[in-house]
A and B are shown apart, each in its own frame.
Chain A
Amino acid sequence: DAGVIQSPRHEVTEMGQEVTLRCKPISGHDYLFWYRQTMMRGLELLIYFNNNVPIDDSGMPEDRFSAKMPNASFSTLKIQPSEPRDSAVYFCASSSGVPVGNIQYFGAGTRLSVL
């Protein structure tokens, strides 16, 4: 398997624009996680899905953020409208089985810069 695939790798946009980040989890994995990494706050969990259903979105910072998982092989994280403070690296991860005993596999991340 090619691992978790994220696109784009880099995104530069202007404040107020809509941004969509994409993730393809490892085939067969039933959990998908979206994280954000910044220098100030480190790594933070935004939301996670189990079998395409959002389980915990308490980490989503504002209503400007939304995430979907229309099928087992694709998820999106959308920011609308984007703001400079959204600049960060966004990671997607997937795992098989319950989180307690199973490691998460991370994608290479999307580096987002909002000007």
Chain B
Amino acid sequence: KQEVTQIPAALSVPEGENLVLNCSFTDSAIYNLQWFRQDPGKGLTSLLLIQSSQREQTSGRLNASLDKSSGRSTLYIAASQPGDSATYLCAVMDSNYQLIWGAGTKLIIKP
């Protein structure tokens, strides 16, 4: 059974710092890995989608990597801003086309 783990559960850093969020999964048989952002009281917003054949994806200050063989992904946020404060969720798409979700990392960027 696929399990997705995100470390750390919470992270607080000063504005301007670069940071890395981690995601690990137990079964390498995935179609893709996705990073989402969730703001309080709101839905989820897709940030990056990495296909299983890809190694990384970039969008603005965000860069996500995927190492399928080791079951790991990282989300790198450059030059963090207070507006980046949110919960970041990682999800993998399994062989049944279902997204299996991590518990999320709550990120706080201090001004």
Contacts and interface: CB of A to CB of B under 8 A. Distances in A.
B32 interface: yes
Nearest to B32: A100
Contacts of A109: 42-43
B44 interface: yes
A101 B97 CA distance: 10
A70 interface: no
Interface residues of A, number: 21
Contacts of B99: 43, 45, 104
Contacts of A42: 101-104
Given A42-B103, A43-B101, A45-B98, A103 B43 contact: no
Contacts of B45: 106
29 contacts: A4-B43, A42-B103, A43-B91, A43-B99, A45-B99, A48-B98, A56-B98, A59-B98, A91-B43, A91-B44, A93-B43, A93-B44, A98-B97, A99-B31, A99-B97, A100-B32, A101-B49, A101-B51, A103-B34, A103-B49, A104-B99, A106-B43, A106-B44, A107-B43, A108-B41, A108-B42, A108-B43, A109-B42, A109-B43
Interface of A: 4, 42-45, 48, 56, 59, 91, 93, 98-101, 103-109
